[in-house]
Amino acid sequence: PGSRVAEQESGRDRLRSGPLERVTEPADWETTQLISADFDDAVEFAVRRFQQERGITVDGIVGPETFRRLEEARWQLGDRVLSLNPNHPTIGEDVLQLQNRLNAMGFSCGREDGEFGPFTDKALRDFQHNVGLKVDGVCGPATFRGFGQLRRTVGGNESSHSVRERASLQQLRTGVQGKIVVLDPAVLQLESIVECTAISRDIAARIQRRLGPQGARTTTTRPTVLTDDSEVERARFCNELEADLVLSIALFSLTDQSHGISAYHYGRDSSSLSVPGQMLAGLILDGLSQSIPNVSSEPGARTWDILRRTRMPTVRLVCGNIADPRDREQLSDPAVLDTIADSVADAVVDFFSPT
């Protein structure tokens, strides 16, 4: 409890010191005296707005993931010098802006995830070479000036990474046989954690039993308590395994959250999203909508760490809201869980099937 209070207080300070101004315009607020010494309604509103715009769980609580995002949001491109540090990667809004700019100009740095990794380093060096700068992989004043010399960004254009993802998707679609699929029973909130974990693991196991006979090589992550790096560690596990696909199974437990089944892929806007993830999420929802009520009509874009830190197509399927009586009743029916597993397994097979 003490650490949670400390997180809330530190999160309030983060909101006061910068990111709040970038989250919303002053006109959205009824008073200019928003941030008080207490974590009051105005601060909770700011937290919820921040969470919504960052594409993470909207609960008004400054937990580990929200705290990290507040820290990342402090930085805008030009605030600090950026370069590759393999042991302690630089993460922040400024890195995301750099990746977006490089991809838009045709220097592919891979997924725009806000982490300065090897692909971003290579793209930056390619950019420096093309504009005649010293090729040192350091994004400082000279490189910022170089952006002004070679800025061909046109609003609405698909990024080079999205184009490459579409091409790589065709290479991936050779059948489900032998594909490595990671099932990730996830925890989104501390509320009802035991019940939510049990249901997520049950659904993951049912999916695993259906994909195995199809020839897929499946494994599961181990659900953990919500810590600063639990989801980051699971994403790292998937990357080290070089999985072909990740399916994260979760439930909401929020009294103010809409009910029903929804699916999410990585994305912040139309120029920064996972094309394969969006495709698979759509296939899953299409299948589920044939036999289960209250299924979202379209997949959503989010930036949970399991989505942004994995290097392969990843989808998070939220199978309902345990705090909603209708969802609770539905999730207690084994036949419904079987239907969910059938639809997901069929969607995975379709996803990998050659076109």
pLDDT at 212 over 90: yes
**Beta strand pairing call for 300-302 and 245-252:** unpaired
In sequence order, which ranges of 24-159 are alpha helices (DSSP H)? 41-54, 64-72, 93-104, 118-130, 141-149
Q: How far from chain centre, in Å, is Cα 1?
A: 27
Contact, 218 vs 181, CB < 8 A? yes
Using one digit for the tens of pLDDT, what is the confidence trace for 291-325?
A: 998 999 999 999 999 999 999 999 999 999 998 99
What is the per-residue pLDDT for 158?
57
Using one digit for the tens of pLDDT, what is the confidence trace for 32-85?
A: 334 444 667 888 999 999 998 888 988 888 888 899 999 999 999 989 999 999
Locate CATH 3.40.630.40 in the chain. Answer: 171-352
pLDDT band at 226 (very low <50, low <70, confident <90, very high): low
Angstrom distance (rounded) from CA 71 to CA 265: 23
Angstrom distance (rounded) from CA 90 to CA 115: 6
pLDDT at 88 over 70: yes
Look up residue 97 and give its two tokens: 């802006």
What is the per-residue pLDDT for 224?
54
Written as one string, the DSSP assignment of 144-212 is HHHHHHS----TTPPPHHHHHHHHHHHHH-S-STT-EEEEEE----STTHHHHHHHHHHHHHHHHHHHG
Locate CATH 1.10.101.10 in the chain. Answer: 75-153
pLDDT band at 28 (very low <50, low <70, confident <90, very high): very low
Look up residue 164 and give its two tokens: 């490459």
| DSSP summary character for residue 55 | T
What is the per-residue pLDDT for 119?
93
What is the per-residue pLDDT for 273?
83
**If you average pLDDT over residues 127-149, what whole number do you get?**
88
Look up residue 70 and give its two tokens: 């507040």
Angstrom distance (rounded) from CA 103 to CA 273: 12
What is the per-residue pLDDT for 213?
96
CATH code linked to domain 75-153:
1.10.101.10
What is the per-residue pLDDT for 181?
98
Contact, 87 vs 99, CB < 8 A? no
Higher pLDDT: 37 or 120? It is 120
Higher pLDDT: 101 or 40? It is 101
The percent of residues in the chain predicted with pLDDT above 90, rounded, is 55
Using one digit for the tens of pLDDT, what is the confidence trace for 271-295?
A: 678 889 999 999 999 999 999 989 9
Tell me how far apart the 2 most distant CA atoms of the chain are, in Å: 64
pLDDT at 11 over 60: no
Mean pLDDT of the chain: 84
Contact, 248 vs 302, CB < 8 A? no
| DSSP summary character for residue 213 | G
In the block, which residue shows the tokens 């838009």?
A: 104
What is the per-residue pLDDT for 165?
73
Residue type, 88: H
Q: How far from chain centre, in Å, is Cα 44?
A: 22
Residue type, 212: G
pLDDT band at 236 (very low <50, low <70, confident <90, very high): very high
**Nearest Cα to 66, choosing from 81, 76, 52, 79?**
52
Look up residue 84 and give its two tokens: 């590759």
pLDDT band at 144 (very low <50, low <70, confident <90, very high): confident
Angstrom distance (rounded) from CA 87 to CA 340: 41
Using one digit for the tens of pLDDT, what is the confidence trace for 321-348?
A: 998 999 999 999 999 999 999 999 999 9
What is the per-residue pLDDT for 13?
56
Angstrom distance (rounded) from CA 242 to CA 321: 31
Residue 269 burial (10 A CB sphere; 0-12, 13-18, 19+)? exposed
Look up residue 25 and give its two tokens: 């315009």
Using one digit for the tens of pLDDT, what is the confidence trace for 123-133?
A: 999 999 988 89
What is the per-residue pLDDT for 135?
95
Indicate the fold that domain 171-352 takes in CATH: Aminopeptidase (3.40.630)
Using one digit for the tens of pLDDT, what is the confidence trace for 147-205?
A: 876 654 444 455 666 667 777 788 889 999 999 999 999 888 767 788 888 999 999 99
What is the per-residue pLDDT for 39?
64
Residue type, 254: L
**If you average pLDDT over residues 135-154, what whole number do you get?**
79
